[in-house]
Structure 1
Amino acid sequence: MSTENVFSSDPLFRDLDAEVTGTEIESLCMRCHQNGTTRLLLTRIPHFKSIILMAFECPHCGLRNNEVQSGEAIQEYGQTCELRCTCKADLSRQVVRNSTATISIPEFEFTAPPATNSTLTTVEGLVMRFIEDLASDQEQRKEAMPDVYQAIENLLEKLRVALTLPEEDTGVAAFTFVLDDPSGNSYVENLCAPMSDPKLKIHHYNRTRDQMIQMGMLNPDADDAQWNEREKQLIGQKRRIDIREEMEAAKKIMLAARQATEAQEILTFPANCSSCNIPCETRMQMVDIPHFQEVIIMSTTCESCGYKSNEVKCGGAISPKGKRITLKVEDKDDLSRDILKSETSSFKIPELDLDMLAGTMGGRFTTIEGLLNQVHDELKSRIPFLGGDSAESDRKERFIQFLNRLKDASDGNVLPFTLTLDDPMAHSYIQNIYAPDPDPNMLNEEYERTFEQNEDLGLNDIVVDNYEQGNQAN
């Protein structure tokens, strides 16, 4: 390998085209122990993101070996996708199944363990593959294990019926397709992208000890003390924003902190990097936003691997009511307004057909223009089924048009439009440029939270009156 390639500024993984070339490395053949040649190709493919193609050939004994490995980083959290299948269109949804993913159908008490390799297929394709695998050895089971044979036959019948869904959406789920991937790199197609899909629910979770061992992230011989220490570090962690966005967000946060007060001390405490687990420092400061409330700004930078992250938390007590802020953006000056979107806040722009659920993108402190740019980049990079040759042309074209409208809105070319922040915790904020007077273009509404909202926020289980009596009763 030449020195020019080692120190090249070109990206390591590039799109697969005519200009992408492989790298040849002299390697030891494990059969004859002579030197052979390994060819490496690092590229990006739609749906699978970054992959490593390897091909080994030995000219002495003729041994050949080909491998495909994922070059994508393991996500910070595991991910579970739950799809309610009600019609034929749901069976045709594309699915990226990583080699670490488990698939289950709770209604049938069926679970498929992780596969040996990653695949791109559909829900119907996966179910058909399960049917083929289960039916392959039925003749032998019929004689040797009749009870097992009958149980598998009953399951096969249920799976075959699952493939006969009606063309029209009845609204009644025939079965639930659950894709659980601790690496966070598996996906189920969202047919309503960029809007939220009412049939598809995505949950993020902290990995268990067994999952960490399975992916090679934890030594299986590590004692409980080491695991408990790491588990403590994971508790309370929230979703991180992408490194490409962090530089801009960090500048905004530090500028706001300096403008708010220079007298307050920036607290520094030790932590471990969530990417490489090397000790690093986390900085925290309380910032008072005028005419709003105090917020907690935390920033972590790892000098070892370069990982950066920041979080914005609202201080103070829990508001007794939720809050909905509606702003009519009429000119480019409105795009420069500061905006604090908490993790519990959803936001929408009806004119752009944009509706982002609570928890999307985490907490952000930026401007309206910056928020729209971040949404544009997130959607462009994180919706994998609208790129590549397998994407439907009509949906792909609609998505491209949506991204263009979103970019035009952030540049001030699509005005006016209405931005609505709906936060059941009332921890979100849009700058009032007329403060302390009311803003004629902004409407603030308070509302009573529903039982479901309190349940999602964990407020129904909080007991603040006579809690000592409740503990004694338990």
Structure 2
Amino acid sequence: MSADQDTKRSDEQLFQDLDADAAASEVESLCMQCQNNGVTRLLLTRIPHFKSVILMAFECPHCGFRNNEVRSGEAMQETGHIHELRCTTKADLNRQIVRNNTASISIPEIEFTAPPASSSSLTTTEGLVSRFIEDLAADQEQRKEETPEVFQAIESILGKLRNSLTLPEEDGAETSPHAFTLVVDDPTGNSYVENLCAPNPDPKLTVRHYRRTRDQMIEMGYLNPDADDAQWTEKEKQLKVMKAVKDASEAKEILTFPANCSSCNAPCDTRMQMVNIPHFQEVIIMSTTCDKCGFKSNEVKCGGAISPKGRRITLKIEDSEDLSRDILKSETSSFSVPELDLDMIAGTMGGRFTTVEGLLRQLHEELSGRVPFLEGDSAESGRREKFEIFLQRLEETADGKVLPFTIIVDDPMSHSYVQNLYAPDPDPNMVCEDYERTFEQNEDLGLNDINTENYEQVEPAQNK
């Protein structure tokens, strides 16, 4: 490829790495103060924590008004995210938080909810609560004169918010009476709360995924309010995808549909095909390649019926040949390596069909380049050094320098697979355990509310 072509591709890339020499685009826009025209400068870039962002700076030469704003440039995620953080110590108050402008914040203990803000922000738990205190206290003097009852109610909330900032240094025998839960609900899935135990799960932090409602899509501007309800139901969209997959499976075709690159947000194509894995089942393999920035991604989704039981696969890796085993990690499975203290919860990295070595290298790539709050000047040196040691051990394990070790793939849907080199005979290095799913696992998978009998019949009570 010539130098001219490289330059052209770089120019076409929407979000480039943060650079002091990067040029901003200038757009003439209306000043809301004096109604004359000012200049808005736009810079599309990638920085730690926010990933892709849009930096905006407006200045009016007529009245001198200025305004700065940062917006997330990330594509809307597949699902909305709810981050629940239990704050009990000072360390929890120092956690960094990326709040997208579509995210609402709530503290259930004091019945406090803050609606989505006008702009995105990078702050800490303490900074977020302090901002709430500042905003609520701004008009208290006026409320005291005009509406004393509202003044008293807000004073009570302000007192509780101030108390929440007086947490102890460490967890003691008794939980602090001012401990609280911070809930960040972002329908776009582009808000983040720092995980102090990365790459392992944080016992104080819970992340839940949910499907956006039609009202949320309208509120964010992704859906026309006058659109027909039936046109946008999730069920109808799923039926269309299922029919397309079925038709492609019968014809052994590769489906291609438009999408957006998750790295630079440029339009690109995603390819999808049904593949039959020997001694397992059919799976859907999806591949995306961006011609603008060169980003590539692959994902696997399992088809077929839901297994009545979950399956836990334990494999002991003893030599380089074991590193070459095929492995299918579904999006519902967890993955752990006890020797490395590595424990990836379900949903991490989505579905993957690769080798054991390939999966370890993908984990290394994901953790080294895409874990928020462990890069940049704001990262604590002690945590960063500890994480770098972990990444080095993970890389050495993928290289086969650390043997033996054990991998555990635990899938409550039984949609994961590890190649048996002795098939159809049992593998002496692999143990497969089937187990009954717990109520909580069925609840997370949405299985408790599924009616599999007489579902086409409407109950008489509902007809009346």
Q: TM-score, normalised by structure 1?
A: 0.79
Matched, 1:202 2:190: no
8 Å contact kept, 1:270–1:279:
no
Distance in 2, Cα, partners of 1:54 & 1:451:
48
Task: Report matched runs for 1:246-325 at 5 Å.
Answer: 265-266=251-252, 273=259, 283-285=272-274, 287-292=275-280, 294-299=281-286, 312-325=300-313
Distance in 2, Cα, partners of 1:127 & 1:385:
19
Cα 1:471–1:410 change in 2 (3 A) is: farther
TM-aligned CA deviation for residue 315 of structure 1: 4.1
Cα 1:313–1:43 change in 2 (3 A) is: closer
Distance in 2, Cα, partners of 1:303 & 1:192:
33
Cα 1:288–1:98 change in 2 (3 A) is: closer
Distance in 2, Cα, partners of 1:468 & 1:210:
28
Distance in 1, Cα, partners of 2:445 & 2:138:
47
Distance in 1, Cα, partners of 2:404 & 2:90:
40
Matched, 1:421 2:421: no
Matched, 1:327 2:315: yes
Task: Report matched runs for 1:25-104 at 5 Å.
Answer: 25=26, 27=28, 40-55=42-57, 61=62, 63=64, 65-70=66-71, 72-76=73-77, 77-104=79-106
Distance in 2, Cα, partners of 1:200 & 1:48:
19
Which one-letter code corresponds to 1:431 in the other structure?
Answer: Q
Distance in 2, Cα, partners of 1:336 & 1:52:
42
SS in structure 1 at match of 2:373: helix
Query: Which residue number corresponds to residue 223 of structure 1?
Result: 226
TM-aligned CA deviation for residue 377 of structure 1: 2.2
Which one-letter code corresponds to 1:333 in the other structure?
Answer: E
Query: Which residue number corresponds to residue 137 of structure 2?
Result: 135
SS in structure 2 at match of 1:184: coil
Cα 1:9–1:149 change in 2 (3 A) is: closer
8 Å contact kept, 2:268–2:288:
no
Which one-letter code corresponds to 1:357 in the other structure?
Answer: I
Root mean square deviation, CA, Å: 3.8
SS in structure 2 at match of 1:385: coil
Distance in 2, Cα, partners of 1:51 & 1:105:
28
SS in structure 2 at match of 1:183: coil
8 Å contact kept, 1:295–1:313:
no
Distance in 1, Cα, partners of 2:43 & 2:449:
53
Stretch deviating more after TM superposition (318-327 or 350-359): 318-327
Stretch deviating more after TM superposition (72-81 or 148-157): 72-81
Cα 1:198–1:185 change in 2 (3 A) is: same
Distance in 2, Cα, partners of 1:392 & 1:416:
33
Query: Which residue number corresponds to residue 186 of structure 2?
Result: 181
Cα 1:234–1:201 change in 2 (3 A) is: farther
SS in structure 2 at match of 1:375: helix
8 Å contact kept, 2:331–2:347:
yes
1:58-113 CA distance string (max 9 Å, x none): 77x57564533435223323221111122222122111112222111112111111
Cα 1:396–1:234 change in 2 (3 A) is: farther
Task: Report matched runs for 1:371-382 at 5 Å.
Answer: 371-382=359-370
Query: Which residue number corresponds to residue 349 of structure 1?
Result: 337
Which one-letter code corresponds to 1:421 in the other structure?
Answer: V
Q: TM-score, normalised by structure 2?
A: 0.81
Which one-letter code corresponds to 1:265 in the other structure?
Answer: A
Question: Which runs of no fewer than 5 residues in structure 1 stay unpaired?
Answer: 238-262
Which one-letter code corresponds to 2:426 in the other structure?
Answer: P
Which one-letter code corresponds to 1:110 in the other structure?
Answer: F
Stretch deviating more after TM superposition (263-272 or 69-78): 263-272
Matched, 1:457 2:445: yes
Distance in 1, Cα, partners of 2:427 & 2:317:
12
